[in-house]
Amino acid sequence: MRVIAYYLPQFHAIPENDEWWGKDFTEWVSVRNGKPLFKGHQQPIEPGELGYYNLLDADIKERQAQLAREAGIEGFCYWHYWFGGKQLLEKPLQQVMASGKPDFPFCLGWANESWKAKTWLDQQTAPDRMLIEQTYSPEDDQAHFEAILPMLRDKRYIQVDGKPLLMVYRPFDLPDPQAWTERWQKMAKNAGFNGLYLLGHVAYQRQIDEVLAMGFDAVNLVPLGDTKRNRCLALRHLCTLIKHLRGQSPLVYDYAKAIRVFASKVMRREEVVPTILPGWDHSPRSKNRAFIMHNSTPEAFRQHVEAIKRIVDKKQNQIVMLKSWNEWGEGNYIEPDKRWGRQYLDVLGAINRK
């Protein structure tokens, strides 16, 4: 499998977050504030050997790359934030570009959504105010492409079928998606590439064909929407669902059952890129509004990865997205933690070497 891990750069202070949330705010603030919401709920979670790191530390990035290599991960897909010419959380990747280290493959995932007050903090109580708005225009596309062009040309940049891979988080938010994909493909060809390998991110199976019709080469299906819907339909006690919808209790689903959706038949389609998910627990941000996949263990994860590998082994395109390398505030991370150490990484590496 060509495993590419989503990588969150929200682990260093920036002036904007200092202004919005207080000095030195990072994702670690939310992680440390996690609280157990029911019996057996593992919160707060704690990082393992890398600690509560700062991503401006070059040594941390080298150690992350080494751990990823040992687990058979091909590269990182850095979440990329561009707002009409303004970038946020860009420094870790800028350092990688400037220093040439770590010598580890990477690509970009454009997180094209506005930041609101609910993005990083308690989504139950935070005010719904705009912090920075995502905007679109053909002129901005040109400036955006020119800004990332040095990255696309970097020898470490991940390619698929000879084309740089660019992932778009919210393809439905593009004002004219087909015009956008055509414009970006044209800019890439004018820059000397064979084009771009455009990957659209979706949360529901029903969205696949619509995104492909926009001009995307493939779709990364992260079926959290389908998984949550299945859990709601399976609930026998309506009062439990009502409490969740009112923000009075989290929606909890056993990881081993929930993850079956991630290996459904639709993943066999050549243009669908499957997802490996080590876990999901949004409660450090969302509190009682969270959707939680409970009881994720290295053994349950092993079964999940084996199921994905059986699918991918039969496909020509063997890309798999790992969600994620380090999204600690959402409970989807594969970095070592205090409870399991490197066990999840070891599972992934052992299976991918078979």
Question: Tens of pLDDT along 170-184?
Answer: 999 999 999 999 999
Supply the pLDDT for residue 216: 98
Supply the pLDDT for residue 239: 62
Given phi > 0 = left and psi -120 to 50 = alpha, else beta, which region is 106? beta
Interval 253-259 mean pLDDT:
93
Supply the pLDDT for residue 238: 62
CATH of the domain at 110: 3.20.20.80
Q: Give the number of other Cβ atoms within 10 Å of residue 236's Cβ.
A: 6
Q: What tokens does 28 get? A: 């670690």
Interval 78-93 mean pLDDT:
98
Domain membership of residue 33 as a residue range = 2-352
Q: Using alpha carbons, list the distances in angstroms from residue 255 to 150, 230, 287, 299.
A: 40, 13, 19, 11
Are the CB atoms for 164 and 149 separated by under 8 Å? no
Condensed to tens digits (0 to 9), the pLDDT of residues 12-23 reads 999 999 998 889
Q: Which of 133 and 248 is assigned the larger pLDDT?
A: 133
- How far apart are alpha carbons 345 and 150 in whole angstroms? 31
**Using CB atoms within 10 A of its CB, is residue 26 exposed (0-12), middle (13-18) or buried (19+)?**
buried
How many domains are there within the chain? 1
